[in-house]
Chain A
Amino acid sequence: MSSTRGIAALVVAFLVAPGAALAQGKTDPGIAIGRQMLAEDNPGELWIEQGKALFHQKRGPKNASLEQCDFGLGPGKLEGASARLPRYFSDTGQVQDLESRLLTCMVQLQGFNRDDVVRRAISPAGSNGSDVEALALYITSRSNGMKISVALDHPKEQEMYKAGEYLFFRRSGQTDFSCVQCHGEADKRIRLQDLVHMTGKNGTQEIAGTWPAYRGAHYVVRTMQWRLYDCFWQMRLPELVYASDASIALLTYLNYQGNGATIQVPGFKR
């Protein structure tokens, strides 16, 4: 484990070393090749087994596993479930993404305290990761090779989608940013970091198909809830609440746009 991290750190350090002329265009091919090499030996794979063990283990005050958790296709049915999320759940009366649904099950089936789970959901960089991160990866990995197919059949799903679209373009704060300022065009970067083009099909498919992902700079697996939280941090806005409606709205918008993407997790991010 630690040697994997060491190698990853070395390669990352090499990748950000200057030397390539980038000018205004795309990522340097050398950097792209280096990233590809890293992705082929993705340390995030290690989290899948951890998530699998956590899923089947009897845990929490109710000493129960998550085997009865319904992610939309019936209790315990994981194959293809995350491909259709977010979706409306009649038992909670809410549209839920993978992580908010997982939270519901950890509270209702296992008896965990919701605030405790939320507080630990996003792990510190360089840690062993959180239970939620490992579980989200394991559950999503059971849909590997399947296509994203988010439906907007229920009126609440329609509302979430439209709200997500509205929020994607909603500018506020001292930077005047919404999502689209950075993610509205192809081949854009913040400093050296490539930005996903989210008003294009390729970009939203990349999002829908590659999260949770191993994040090289943090040495842990990260989820989309983290990804959104971190964007709002950089935008100088208040902190996005884990599994909040605004986060689920944005995920409904993005994943629906990404329909047709093939799920392949863990993704690998710089």
Chain B
Amino acid sequence: MRLAWWKWIAFGAPVLVATGCSSYPDQAATREIAEKMVSQSFTAPTPGLLKRLEQDRSQRICSKIGGAKLTQEEAAEVVKLARASIQYPASGKLVGDWKAGETLAHDGAGDRIQRGVLEKRKENGGLCQNCHGLAPGEINVGNIGPALTGYGLQRGNSEAVAKLTYERIYNGWAYAPCSNMPRLGATGHLTPEQITHLVAYLIDPASPINTR
């Protein structure tokens, strides 16, 4: 009898809530439930690595359910945060070595965690090939992002193009808030120097990307 009473409290009450409110659980309740799941459903070799699950302000704004549109204020905030995040290489030189960039663009490894081990390398891969068409004739390329084939042919290699390209790789949300493109520099996946090599790979006239 006592047990039945407790069961009513445990199951009956939520049922009443559910029937009384068609969209149970509401947004706030869902967020609380789901965030608790996140904190309990993952492991990592060191506690520091669990921080990867924590969202920064921009990631929270960019996680709209069902791809709902950003408000103007939200878009402006993401752009502002992105602009403030961008750091340039100590050398001040934004165009590096296109050959190093080519290697990086085809490297999809680094920093993954499997069976309690962090894939730690000197540098992470650039991941570009996963999502972008690259040099003409390359077959093994993804199509989530726009093809970068002929990037420099279309835009040239002026200082302004180099700066824009650097910034779009470092934190593309400064130009396209919440786009699918990872903020590769701002999140620390790539170093500023690595990004200069990718810039060179995209705009250097000698790079295979710009083969006619």
Contact = CB atoms under 8 A, between A and B. Distances in A.
Same assembly? yes
A120 to B, nearest CB: 12
Contacts of A158: 18, 24-25
Given A163-B34, A174-B182, A238-B42, A169 B53 contact: no
A14 interface: no
A17 to B, nearest CB: 9
Contact of B43 (A155, A176, A187, A238): A238
Given A169-B64, A181-B144, A176 B182 contact: yes
B207 to A, nearest CB: 20
Contact of B131 (A172, A190, A236, A241): A190
A32 interface: no
Nearest to A246: B41
Contacts of A199: 66-67
Interface in B18-58: 18, 24-25, 29-31, 33-34, 37-38, 40-44, 49-50, 52-55
B73 to A, nearest CB: 19
A130 interface: no
23 contacts: A21-B139, A24-B143, A158-B24, A159-B33, A166-B30, A167-B37, A169-B64, A171-B63, A173-B52, A174-B182, A175-B127, A175-B182, A187-B143, A190-B142, A191-B108, A191-B129, A192-B140, A236-B112, A237-B113, A239-B43, A239-B113, A241-B43, A247-B41
Interface of B: 11, 14-15, 17-18, 24-25, 29-31, 33-34, 37-38, 40-44, 49-50, 52-55, 59, 62-67, 108, 111-116, 127, 129-131, 133, 139-144, 147, 180-183, 187-189
Interface of A: 16, 18-25, 155-156, 158-159, 162-163, 165-167, 169-178, 180-182, 184-185, 187-192, 195, 199, 232-234, 236-241, 244-247, 249
